[in-house]
Amino acid sequence: MWHTRIASAIVSLMLLISVPSSAADTAAAQADPVATPTATVERLHSALIDVMKEAGTLGFEGRRQRLDPLIRSSFDLPFMAQIVMGPAWRSLKPSDQAAIVAAFSDWTVANYASQFDGWDGEQFATGTEKDGGRGTVIVQTQLNAKDGPVALDYRLRKSATEWQIIDVYADSSISELATRRSEFSAILAQSGFTGLLDRIRQQTQALAQRG
């Protein structure tokens, strides 16, 4: 189903991620009361709908260029890359950490550009905010499509500049990054870091070729 395809394209983290709170996070939130978790989510949703409506005209590369800065600002991709790498992250050199963050970020943008390739009347509806624990906030939303609604709950934390998404729950159960973490672990065990990096880059290229 189309709405299931969209939901599965939304990047998410594992359900049991533990995000440490900090005094810096609290101070940043107090210093910038205008920027809210809901504003981040609604900005993302608005742009996704616009891109979907213009998908055919834009083509893959146009969608990728349109979404690239938005995805990078809406999601805390370095943090997400660290989570998906699991314990292996701590053993990587800084240059390798930077390389995996870049590759993972490029793949995430390409995934959105590939999946959001048409519009059939879908709309996002924003619900309420609630405490997500450990300095995070959950924004409850819903994707309304012709073949039925999909619940999408976003978990955000305050970065140095704004609220960023670190987790998305589709139907309260779909966790794409949990699957990716398992896949990454298997590739690391079999092919090492270089093999994993090559695989992510190949997947990004394949998305671009598919259009």
The more confident residue out of 24 and 75 is 75
Q: Are 172 and 153 in contact (CB under 8 A)?
A: yes
The pLDDT, as a whole number, for residue 174 is: 66
As beta bridge partners, residue 151 has 142
Interatomic CA distance for residues 163 and 160, integer angstroms: 9
The pLDDT, as a whole number, for residue 182 is: 87
As beta bridge partners, residue 129 has 139
| Exposure letters 1-25 (e unless 16+ CB within 10 A, then b) | eebbebbebbbbbbeebebeeeeeb
Q: Which amino acid is at 202?
A: Q
The pLDDT, as a whole number, for residue 76 is: 95
pTM of the model: 0.82
Model confidence band, residue 55 (pLDDT cutoffs 50, 70, 90):
very high
Q: Express each pLDDT in 152-170 by its tens digit.
A: 989 899 988 899 998 888 7
- Asked whether residue 32 carries a pLDDT value surpassing 50, the answer given is no
Q: Express each pLDDT in 57-106 by its tens digit.
A: 999 999 999 999 999 999 999 999 998 899 999 999 999 999 999 999 99
Q: Which amino acid is at 2?
A: W
Spatial CA neighbour of 158 closest among 82, 98, 76: 76
Domains, the chain, with CATH or none: 2-210 (3.10.450.710)
Q: Express each pLDDT in 92-146 by its tens digit.
A: 999 999 999 999 999 999 999 999 999 999 999 999 999 989 899 999 999 999 9
Model confidence band, residue 35 (pLDDT cutoffs 50, 70, 90):
confident
- Asked whether residue 48 carries a pLDDT value surpassing 90, the answer given is yes
DSSP H helical segments within the chain, as ranges?
2-9, 23-31, 37-53, 55-74, 77-85, 94-115, 176-210
Interatomic CA distance for residues 186 and 161, integer angstroms: 35
> What is the average pLDDT value for the chain, to the nearest integer?
85
Rounded to whole angstroms, what are the CA distances from 75 to 11, 36, 40, 145, 187? 9, 14, 9, 24, 25
The pLDDT, as a whole number, for residue 27 is: 37
The pLDDT, as a whole number, for residue 107 is: 95
The pLDDT, as a whole number, for residue 13 is: 37
